[in-house]
């Protein structure tokens, strides 16, 4: 990966002086998860808008995140505002009143999480007030700075949101900001070992030999999964190296082959619990100069293969009840990108697949379907991008820096968690709240 020298420079005294004087982005190195740093440093401030007092059930869930509460004197590491009771414009004033005094005191790399309720189609005042929380959250994320993130969670009940709150109120979510995550009804399975929630489960990661795929494989293995690394035959050596390091297995095949799903099923006779669709390619060129083979190859790898293998593994019963499918979309599919009509189409198609399949897969197979949509992630691929384009990609987000493969991997691990059953049909951007798109 190419070093982010600008990020390093802004941490020096001359860098701080120049960026302040010239009005340039001032990124802060993000505090990410490690075995030595499993939690945020500091306390959690629990605030309420639209209700008289905190919900005891929510307080019990927050206590299990590991962040201490109750100290109102020290700068908080995280602030959670329960705005599920906001039903009209007057109650929205309580959102301002609650956050206005404390938001500037949140520690660097801290978290602000707003809880909202589903929009009530029978009450347009409630729907307007709750929808207002979305614009509020995304706007606050773009101004809060200092490596802090802001997200909105719409939930039906606090117990269903525990795995989501654990993720968002931790260093694992360092590059996830400006997101609206819906947590609906669904089964919550508490893992036997909270530190290894995927113990006893099998995960398959396509495109797992390098980059983001290898990071996803490593994170799922860290969480206890037996990981099978799938990649093309040309990457067999890398795939086996990753698999050996993780104590898993390697599988090499062409994911675009018509029988790829059947071959995966044959290699996993005991079944599969987590399917991560990460394999993808780019063949960039403006549409006016794009030959048909560049279009079809990208659509085949990035979308058609996802559809075919998902159908085969679901219909054949390879994905066991309680399973998780996590596909890889992209902000290029959500916001568009010049020179990537093929790639953007394929990744938007992934988002469409997720939203349509999720309720049916839950009902028929007890399997959830979600997607991650990475933004600018520091990989060997982005290191080869020309300097000025690379710098623009790094700075055009609220955190003013590129993400790491581990940021995507941590998000996949949250979606794969046994207790994340209520999270279904979501497309979660891992982009530092990119300034492109919503």
Q: Which residues carry out catalysis?
A: 343
**Segments of 207-318 assigned E as strands:** 226-231, 249-252, 272-277
Residue 180 and residue 211 in contact, taking contact as beta carbons nearer than 8 Å: no
216 closest CA partner among 175, 281, 276, 172 = 276
Q: Residue 252: helix, strand or coil by DSSP?
A: strand
DSSP string, 146-159: TT-EEEEEEES-TG
Return d(Cα 211, Cα 188) in angstroms, integer: 31
* CA 397 to centroid of chain Cα atoms: 15
Return d(Cα 252, Cα 255) in angstroms, integer: 9
340 closest CA partner among 400, 376, 299 = 299
Instruction: For residue 62, give Cα distances in angstroms to 46, 82, 185, 356, 421.
Output: 9, 12, 19, 32, 18
Return d(Cα 184, Cα 415) in angstroms, integer: 14
């Amino acid at each position: 990966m190419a070093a982010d020298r600008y990020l390093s420079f802004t941490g020096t005294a001359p860098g701080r002086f120049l960026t302040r004087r010239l009005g340039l982005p001032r990124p802060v190195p993000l505090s990410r998860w490690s075995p030595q740093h499993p939690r945020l440093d500091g306390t959690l401030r629990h605030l309420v808008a639209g209700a008289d007092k905190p919900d005891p059930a929510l307080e019990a869930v927050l206590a299990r995140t590991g962040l201490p509460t109750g100290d109102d004197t020290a700068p908080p590491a995280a602030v959670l505002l329960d705005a599920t009771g906001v039903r009209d414009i007057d109650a929205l004033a309580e959102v301002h009143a609650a956050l206005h005094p404390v938001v500037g005191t949140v520690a660097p790399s801290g978290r602000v999480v707003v809880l909202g309720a589903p929009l009530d189609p029978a009450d347009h005042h409630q729907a307007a007030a709750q929808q207002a929380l979305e614009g509020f959250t995304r706007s606050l994320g773009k101004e809060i700075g200092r490596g802090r993130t802001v997200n909105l969670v719409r939930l039906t009940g606090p117990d269903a949101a525990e795995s989501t709150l654990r993720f968002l109120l931790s260093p694992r979510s360092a590059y996830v900001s400006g997101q609206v995550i819906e947590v609906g009804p669904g089964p919550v399975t508490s893992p036997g070992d909270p530190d290894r929630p995927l113990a006893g489960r099998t995960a398959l990661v396509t495109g797992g030999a390098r980059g983001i795929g290898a990071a996803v494989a490593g994170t799922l293995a860290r969480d206890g999964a037996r990981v099978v690394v799938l990649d093309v035959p040309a990457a067999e050596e890398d795939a086996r190296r990753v698999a050996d390091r993780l104590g898993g297995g390697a599988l090499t095949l062409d994911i675009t082959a018509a029988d790829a799903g059947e071959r995966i099923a044959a290699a996993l006779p005991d079944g599969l619990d987590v399917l991560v669709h990460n394999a993808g390619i780019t063949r960039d060129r403006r549409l006016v100069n794009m030959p048909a083979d560049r279009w079809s190859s990208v659509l085949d790898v990035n979308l058609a293969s996802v559809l075919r293998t998902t159908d085969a593994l679901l219909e054949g019963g390879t994905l066991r009840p309680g399973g998780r499918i996590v596909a890889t979309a992209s902000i290029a599919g959500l916001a568009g990108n010049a020179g990537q009509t093929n790639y953007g189409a394929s990744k938007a198609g992934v988002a469409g697949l997720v939203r349509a399949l999720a309720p049916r897969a839950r009902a028929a197979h007890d399997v959830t379907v979600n997607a991650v949509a990475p933004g600018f992630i520091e990989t060997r691929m982005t290191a080869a991008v020309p300097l000025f384009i690379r710098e623009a990609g790094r700075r055009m987000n609220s955190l003013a820096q590129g993400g790491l493969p581990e940021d995507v991997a941590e998000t996949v691990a949250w979606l794969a968690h046994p207790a994340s059953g209520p999270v279904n049909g979501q497309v979660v951007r891992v982009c530092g709240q990119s300034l492109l798109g919503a």
